Amino acid sequence: MIDPRLLYELDPELWERMAGKQPVLIHLLEGYVDAGQTGRALARHLQAHSEHETLVRFDHDVLHDYRSRRPVITFDTNTWKSVSHFALEISVGTDTRGQEYLLLTGPEPDVQWDRTVAALNHLVTGLDVSMVVTAYGAPMAVPHTRPTLITAHSTDPSRVTDNPRMVDRVDVPASFSAYWELALGSHDQLAMGFAALVPHYLAQATFHQSVVTVIERINAETGLALPTTDLQERVEANLAEINAEMNGSPEVLEVVSSLEAQYDAMQAAPEEYLPSAEELGAEFERFLADQAKDDE
């Protein structure tokens, strides 16, 4: 393997400033399943509520498949004006109490996963990271009119004892984040992930309720104080918009009513409502197919 440290450049002064702080690292990479745009909206929310200083910048040019995910280029009248650029980087932000944390954002690597994992593990060790955390949305047959459930996972299974009985064992194509978390476990590094269960009929839209739910869970598990105040207003507006749109469709209301009954029954007797691996796999494949159509 080519030296993984050649994949990135870092800010030496900021690196020294972070020494001994044992920060939490939150990774929110794009390019895989993220129902309700939970991870993407969370990343934008965190970046908007704190000045972020770039600590590490990866050479994304060697990790990205440009024909799979093409940059957007603007043509104006008779010339090319501008182009969007991809960036995979770790920045330093602060929570509402001034505590610093690390945020890894950008498209997940298309190639060299093992080398990128080795590079990230080197950085995690060098920064003495206390915990590595991620969050995203997973499409599920649940209603938007009930609290958002979370399925958590961790390299220390004893930290996860309250998962809803909606997912038992299932084989799915790996995301880079899951691949990295598995590797972190083999190095005895504490890592956790929170999958917000998003109504499947809202999987392609932004579902702010799931964003608030994962922030609250991250805060509870890490001791951070990530902001949620303005998000509560977005949740109310988002739910009002969803309800207004659905009230015009008796068929949709009937589906939601059925999901509400299933949700309530599952909460009362969770062991009776565990979907099969085939059902979960089918739902997952439908989401990927819809996502692929949107990307075309």
Dihedral, CA of residue 63, residue 132, residue 21 and residue 222, to nearest 10? 150
- Mean predicted lDDT score pLDDT of the chain: 89
Q: Are 168 and 279 in contact (CB under 8 A)?
A: no
Tokens 């610093």 sit on residue: 100
Looking at residue 292, what is its pLDDT? 54
Q: What is the pLDDT of residues 191-229, one digit of tens each?
A: 999 999 999 989 899 999 999 999 999 999 999 999 998
| Whether the predicted pLDDT of 12 surpasses 70 | yes
Looking at residue 285, what is its pLDDT? 57
Q: Are 126 and 119 in contact (CB under 8 A)?
A: no
Strand 73-76 to strand 79-83: parallel, antiparallel, or no bridges (unpaired)?
antiparallel
Give pTM, 2 decimals.
Answer: 0.87
56 CB-side CA count, 13 A:
26
| Cα distances (angstroms) measured from residue 142 to each of 32, 189, 262, 271, 283 | 21, 33, 8, 16, 12
Residues 6+ positions from 293 with CB-CB distance below 8 Å: none
Looking at residue 267, what is its pLDDT? 78
Q: What DSSP letter does each residue of 77-101 carry, written as one string?
A: TTEEEEE-----EEEEEE-TTS-EE
Looking at residue 35, what is its pLDDT? 95
Give the class (CATH, top level) of 4-295: alpha beta
Q: What is the pLDDT of residues 87-133, one digit of tens each?
A: 999 999 999 999 999 999 999 999 999 999 999 999 999 999 999 99
CB environment 258-271: b (16+ within 10 A), e (fewer):
ebeeebeebeeeee
Strand 8-10 to strand 53-58: parallel, antiparallel, or no bridges (unpaired)?
antiparallel
Q: Confidence class of residue 247 from pLDDT cuts 50, 70 and 90?
A: confident
Dihedral, CA of residue 276, residue 163, residue 200 and residue 45, to nearest 10? -150
| Whether the predicted pLDDT of 11 surpasses 60 | yes
Higher pLDDT among residues 248 and 26, named by residue:
26
Q: Confidence class of residue 162 from pLDDT cuts 50, 70 and 90?
A: confident
**Number of separate helices (H) and strands (E) present in the chain:** 8, 10
Domain boundaries, the chain: 4-295
Give percent above pLDDT 70 in the chain.
Answer: 89
φ, ψ for residue 55 (rounded to 5)? -95, -45
Looking at residue 265, what is its pLDDT? 82
Is 211 buried (19+), middle (13-18) or exposed (0-12) by CB count in 10 A?
buried
| Whether the predicted pLDDT of 286 surpasses 60 | no
Is 20 buried (19+), middle (13-18) or exposed (0-12) by CB count in 10 A?
exposed
